[in-house]
Amino acid sequence: MEQRRLGRTDVHVSALCLGTMTFGEQNSEAEGHAQMDYALEKGINFFDAAELYPIPPNRETQGRTERIIGTWLAKSGNRDKVVVATKIVGRTDMDWFRENGEHGRLTRPQIEFAVDRSLKNLQTDHIDLYQIHWPDRRTSGFGSNPTRWKYVEPAEDENSIDSTLEVLADLVKAGKIRHIGISNESSWGAMRYVTAAERHGLPRIVSIQNAYSLVNRTFETNLAEVAHREDIGLLGYSALAQGYLTGKYRDGALPAGARKTLFNRLQRYEDPRAIQAFDAYVDLAKEAGLDPSQMALAFAMSRSFMTSVILGATRMDQLKTDIAAAELKLSDDVLEKIDALHQEFGNPAP
């Protein structure tokens, strides 16, 4: 498994990262442990979690994912072999993340509380990569990189990026976190983190975790240049468009146990234009003699701004197929055809 440098640090992570948001909902503790065992065996040294997880978020299950990772770390003794990443929620009206029922905000007390609880859940004394899951500010749309701008009124109690970074810097000094990342951020937000670090001598962000797939290449519009010039590598999530690029939902199919079947939360992928694009990419993979999942993942891994592509699988056979994509190098012909389809369909599922 190829190892890639995380930002400007001395940490190297695998080109594929094990996403864990199904642990504690669709996957049991035993299944989560089995996935981590297999991923590590195959060269994946990077696990990504969040205080929010598992998905879908709710009061009863919140924190289970981190706790499952924690029991694996304690049982396996593999803490020194893996880079553990987790996240703190941004601005949210969900009121179950803090003991006093506060809505999620990036204040100093909330950040410190969240870090301490994640450390306890993960059964570790430090978090390798601590990420802001989404901004404290109100944004035009979740993901902070919209294809169409919509004005939103700033919140009166917005916590600045500078103040957030100051708290995180103190946690780095305390040894509780090693490095800082952002997620679902815009180029403006990313550069505000960079300039705040340079102005005040604070830690630089090392990564940005945003959606990236064949049907959502909006990262390339301006964030790709930020990633290159500032050494802020992309940790790409939803590279399979939450399963649509595998072809499993084709013609309205609803496989047993699939996320769409269980939770019906994938409306962002159900635009008629997106459905046409999914079919076209799956057809291209089949014409080229490729597994559609592996083609989509290999494409994401091939991008020069990509540090690691986050995998999400509920079944071991899915995970094995996905990890095998690390050995696939797409031909120039396939890459040209992918770009031609992108020219035709654009980004129908941002």
53 is catalytic: yes
Lowest mean pLDDT: which of 153-167, 206-220, 243-257?
243-257
Burial of 63 from C-beta contacts in 10 A (0-12 / 13-18 / 19+):
buried
Q: Which among 238, 175, 160, 172 is positioned nearest to 205, based on CA atoms?
A: 172
What's the pLDDT score for residue 307? 98
Residue 106 and residue 164 in contact, taking contact as beta carbons nearer than 8 Å:
yes
What's the pLDDT score for residue 259? 84
Phi-psi category of 246—alpha, beta or left, where left has phi over 0 and alpha has psi -120 to 50? alpha
Average pLDDT over residues 25-45: 98
Q: Give the pLDDT confidence of 248-281 residue by residue, as tens digits.
A: 999 888 888 888 888 887 787 888 999 999 999 9
Average pLDDT over residues 126-149: 92
Residue 285 and residue 324 in contact, taking contact as beta carbons nearer than 8 Å:
no
What's the pLDDT score for residue 191? 98
CA–CA separation, 276 vs 289, rounded Å?
20
Residue 24 and residue 64 in contact, taking contact as beta carbons nearer than 8 Å:
yes
Average pLDDT over residues 325-331: 98
What's the pLDDT score for residue 215? 97
Residue 144: pLDDT above 80? no
**Residue entry with tokens 């592509």:** 309
Average pLDDT over residues 186-204: 97
Strands 12-14 and 177-183: unpaired
Residue 15: pLDDT above 80? yes
What's the pLDDT score for residue 43? 98
What's the pLDDT score for residue 29? 98
Domains and CATH numbers, the chain: 3-243+296-330 (3.20.20.100)
What's the pLDDT score for residue 265? 79
Grouping H, G, I as helix, E, B as strand and the rest as coil, residue 18 is strand
Average pLDDT over residues 147-170: 95
Q: Give the pLDDT confidence of 74-114 residue by residue, as tens digits.
A: 999 999 999 999 999 999 999 999 999 999 999 999 999 99
Strand runs labelled E in the chain: 3-5, 12-14, 16-19, 46-48, 83-88, 127-132, 177-183, 205-209, 233-236, 306-311
What is the DSSP secondary structure assignment for residue 1, as one 8-state letter?
-
What's the pLDDT score for residue 269? 85
What's the pLDDT score for residue 288? 98
Instruction: Give me 13's structure tokens.
Output: 């992570």
Annotated active-site residue in 38, 53, 249, 281: 53
Average pLDDT, the chain: 96
pTM of the model: 0.96
